[in-house]
Amino acid sequence: MLQVEFRPALERSGGDGMNANAPEHQLVDVHSHFVTPEYVEAATRAGHVHPEGMPRWATWSVPEHLAMMDEAGIARAVLSVSSPGTHFGVDAAARALARSLNRFSAGVVERFPDRFGHFAALPMPDVEGALAEAAYALDELGAAGVAVLSNAHGVYLGDPRYAELYAELDRRGAIVFVHPVSPPNWERVSGGRPRPMLEFIFDSARAAADLVLSGTVHRHRNIRWVFSHSGGALPVLAERLELFRGLLPEQVPGPAVTEQLAGLWYDIAGTPFPHAAPALTRAFGDDRVLYGSDYCWTPAAGALAQARTVDPTWRALTTRNANRLLDERAGVAKPRTPAIAMLPGL
């Protein structure tokens, strides 16, 4: 059983005198990850020895995550599985892995309901499996929403095969957290560099554009889509997408592309300042901007350095927005299944 001593956050001040742990400066982190030995083993067996071109797998534990949160002034964090996701080619195995990981993250929330929530992993592109897992995670595990990748084995989010899944998520008013992943044929464009450096930024933009241009965003207006890394390349592409809209063979329903993109939610994980986050708010406004640390794939030192760049105004803004997103229907809730077993050693 997990044994962690909870202590209140330490009083710390930045160079500007800001106390990051004062209540008015506490952050809500909607983009934070976990890994388990089972997950690393399954992904490694599937060939993800250097995940997304990174040198090694990240490591994670509850005590280390809480320590980072306390030092950064993060009140709550919503856990999710990062790329490469849970589907490595076999539907049945992907369903089993997603279920195991979702039960694990729900167990963390059960032990620390005031500090953690979770977005449930879905075994995309398996629609039947994703429907079943979304229902289980939202109804039984108290998940705050679901997490998907920007593409699943080359299938982007606007693909019509996902219509049944989106209809159900729309009915629920669900949060759908979209994490970037390597694009198809990444070998030809990445130059051997870690794909999070460039490819993730463009694949997030590609996925969001696909959702809008396919009409998915307009048809399913109750889904609350959350994109990462200050929208990637979207702030500089929004007007270009609208410009080309009239040249597309099928009419794009709904208002202007820029307006539809402004209706999505965006976290500022990565390097938000001095340029990315301000560009995001200039393009789409500031009422749907959220904080994200990208821990544990961003190591603690990097997450802390990034958090120090988020001044009191941005802290208050992102936390206010996160509390509005994570409302009573999709809040950081205590899971409904009791006594979920935790993996040893974490």
Note the pLDDT of residue 10: 30
Domains of the chain: 24-325 (3.20.20.140)
- Which tokens go with 292? 């994200």
* Whole-number Å distance between alpha carbons of 209 and 203: 10
Tokens in use for 337? 């299944």
Question: What is the mean pLDDT of the segment spanning 121-147?
Answer: 98
Q: What is the pTM of this model?
A: 0.90
Query: Phi, psi (5° rounding) for residue 294?
Result: 65, 15
Please name every residue paired with 267 in a beta bridge, in sequence order, or none if there are none: 290
- Residue 226's closest CA among 256, 257, 263? 263
Count the Cβ atoms, other than its own, within 10 Å of residue 245: 14
**Which residues are within 8 A (CB) of 340 and not within 5 positions of it... i.e. 6 or more apart?**
103, 104, 106, 107, 110
Mean pLDDT value across the chain = 90
Quick one: average pLDDT of 241-270?
Answer: 95
Q: How far is CA 289 from the centre of its chain?
A: 13
Residue linked to tokens 């709550």: 76
Per-residue pLDDT, 150: 98
Q: Count of residues for the chain?
A: 346
345 pLDDT more than 90: no
45 vs 6, higher pLDDT: 45
Pairing assessment for the beta strands 74-80 and 27-33 based on DSSP bridges? parallel
Where is average pLDDT lowest: 24-28, 106-110, 117-121, 143-147?
24-28
For residue 18, what pLDDT is reported? 66
Chain segment 265-320, per-residue pLDDT in tens: 999 999 999 999 999 999 999 999 999 999 999 999 999 999 999 999 999 999 99
Distances (CA, A) of 32 to 74, 86, 160: 11, 17, 29
pLDDT tens-digit profile of 172-221?
A: 999 999 999 988 988 898 899 999 999 999 999 999 999 999 999 999 99
119 pLDDT higher than 80: yes
pLDDT tens, residue by residue, 163-172? 999 999 999 9
Q: Which amino acid type is present at position 306? A: Q
Task: Return the H-helix or E-strand segment holding 149.
Answer: strand 145-149
Query: Residue 186: what pLDDT?
Result: 87
